[in-house]
Structure 1
Amino acid sequence: MKRTEILGKLAPCGLDCSCCASFKGGPIARQSRTLLEALGDYQRMAQKMTAFFEPFAHFDSFQEILRFFADAKCDGCRSGGSRYPDCAAKSCFKEMKVDFCGECKEFPCSRNRYNEDLHKRWLANGEFIRTKGIESFYDMQAGKPRY
């Protein structure tokens, strides 16, 4: 895949925006819309099914989550759409004139305030990008679930 195409999918931190639950063009949003459409007015059936299967008592919550996913609005981190408030990478990459954190001379830095799990992924992503290149990184992670 060409670097320009990769830039359209991967955030500066290395996470795949196209697989994010908040990405409006991603598979989670698309499939949530498809499932909502396929379910139609399943609410009435779910009420009947509750008598046989307890999980259907939570159908309203399930449908609310599906609507949340289906209504994704983010265009990706590079467009400033990141919903993660502790991410500096979404703007820092422009200031540092790099495409990915792993390409920055200051990587790893302390600008991001990621939680522990995300911090570990950011470090691993950046190190892989730094040592093996963005094309190899993309090939390695392409198609894998984000979560």
Structure 2
Amino acid sequence: MNVENLYTYCGVSCSTCARYYENMLLVKLAKALAELVDAHGFQEWMPAEVGEFDYKEFRKGLAFLADKKSWLVCRKTCKEGAGRPDCEIRRCCEARGLSLCFECEDFPCEKVVGNEELMKRAKSFMELGKKAWLNLLSRKIERNYEHHTGKSYEIKITKSREQNKFK
């Protein structure tokens, strides 16, 4: 996919979202957590230790988060029609033929003033220029950066040598 289609009109990279189908960090983490809590027998002792803890509901939540076919997983980018259908920034950019709102001659306008995160992205874009800004986004993607939390995550699940011997 063209890297320019991976960022939204407001400058967020879909690939830095834990819900994006090519990233699926949230799905991987939920699956790993479910496997770990089950293997440790939390279903037996957690309700007794915590009291009002409903383990079945907890596992139902993890199963939902781990389901890569659920509505939670974005299969399209903003520019392919995902995201909020009522987004003013998207409508404006589409009407003006822009790939980013910060490329607009009227930027900043009333649609974006007050959106601190967007203004930070715009400042970075203006300082770096488009090519360097896209390179920065690519590096964030490589580092498993998640834009909602502002952190990079690494999850690596491998089979033990013993498991590999018997396969």
Say whether the fold is shared (TM-score over 0.5).
Answer: yes
Unaligned runs of 5+ in 1: none
State the match for 2:110 in structure 1. 110
State the match for 1:45 in structure 2. 41
- Which aligned pairs between 1:67-82 and structure 2 lie closer than 5 A? 67-68=64-65, 70=67, 71=70, 72-74=72-74, 75-82=76-83
- Which aligned pairs between 1:14-93 and structure 2 lie closer than 5 A? 14-32=11-29, 34-35=31-32, 39=35, 42=38, 45-50=41-46, 54=50, 57=53, 59=55, 60-61=57-58, 63-64=60-61, 67-68=64-65, 70=67, 71=70, 72-74=72-74, 75-83=76-84, 87-93=87-93
* Closer/same/farther in 2, CA of residues 34 and 50 from structure 1, 3 Å limit: closer
1:100-121 deviation digits (Å, cap 9, x = unpaired): 11111111112358xx6xx101
What is the TM-score when the length of structure 1 is the normalising length? 0.68
Q: Distance in 1 between matches of 2:85 and 2:65?
A: 16
State the match for 1:13 in structure 2. 10
Per mean C-alpha deviation after superposition, the further-off stretch among 96-105 and 68-77 is 68-77
State the match for 1:124 in structure 2. 120
Q: Distance in 1 between matches of 2:47 and 2:31?
A: 27
* Closer/same/farther in 2, CA of residues 124 and 51 from structure 1, 3 Å limit: closer
* Closer/same/farther in 2, CA of residues 58 and 133 from structure 1, 3 Å limit: farther
- The structural deviation recorded for 1:130 is 3.0
Paired AA for residue 91 in structure 1: R
* Closer/same/farther in 2, CA of residues 126 and 89 from structure 1, 3 Å limit: same
Which stretches of structure 1, 4 residues or longer, exceed 6 Å deviation after superposition? none
What is the TM-score when the length of structure 2 is the normalising length? 0.62
1:45-73 deviation digits (Å, cap 9, x = unpaired): 32213167539x35433651562464234
Q: In the comparison of the two structures, how many residue pairs are matched?
A: 138
- The structural deviation recorded for 1:12 is 1.3
| Matched-pair contact (CA < 8 Å) for 1:21–1:69 | no
CA RMSD of aligned residues (A): 3.6
User: What is the DSSP-based 3-state SS (H/G/I as helix, E as strand, rest coil) of the residue aligned with 1:50?
Assistant: helix
Larger Cα-atom Rg: 2
| Matched-pair contact (CA < 8 Å) for 2:93–2:99 | yes
* Closer/same/farther in 2, CA of residues 67 and 84 from structure 1, 3 Å limit: farther
Q: Distance in 2 between matches of 1:109 and 1:66?
A: 42
